[in-house]
Amino acid sequence: GAVVSQHPSWVICKSGTSVKIECRSLDFQATTMFWYRQFPKQSLMLMATSNEGSKATYEQGVEKDKFLINHASLTLSTLTVTSAHPEDSSFYICSVKSSGTGIGQPQHFGDGTRLSIL
């Protein structure tokens, strides 16, 4: 079954709206979650690393005031796209670092949220 649940799966909204995306770890407690963005025909790009109980770490070029991340519990991280504009339209995917140790542990990805800003 699914290890990571992402909600909603698809959002269409007007320009200027703020949109919240939830990422839940279903099988284990996750101190670290990752948020990615994927444009059509392109690879996933890491936006930020979400750390439970502390501030998220953003990748270079990602506006932290634009993409608000909250990781308030060990099973939930949220990404809020504030004042979204058409150029923010993309496929947003979260992933959870496996609870196991060792270098061969996979990341488990959610099914993504397709965000369309009109």
Partner 1 sequence: KNQVEQSPQSLIILEGKNCTLQCNYTVSPFSNLRWYKQDTGRGPVSLTIMTFSENTKSNGRYTATLDADTKQSSLHITASQLSDSASYICVVSRGDYKLSFGAGTTVTVRA
CB 74 within 8 A of CB 29: yes
For residue 46, what is the DSSP state? E
Sequence letter at residue 108: H
Minimum CB–partner distance for residue 83 and partner 1 (Å):
26
Rounded Cα distance, 43 and 29, in Å: 27
| CB-CB neighbours of 23 under 10 Å | 28
For partner 1, the closer of residues 17 and 107 by Cβ is 107
For partner 1, the closer of residues 23 and 117 by Cβ is 23
Could you identify the residue written with the tokens 């279903």?
A: 26
- What does the chain come to in residues? 118
For partner 1, the closer of residues 63 and 111 by Cβ is 111
Minimum CB–partner distance for residue 34 and partner 1 (Å):
8
For partner 1, the closer of residues 12 and 16 by Cβ is 12
Minimum CB–partner distance for residue 111 and partner 1 (Å):
5
CB 84 within 8 A of CB 13: yes
Q: Which residues bind partner 1 (CB under 8 A)?
A: 4, 6, 32, 34, 41-46, 49, 91, 93, 95, 97, 103-104, 106-112, 114
Minimum CB–partner distance for residue 45 and partner 1 (Å):
8
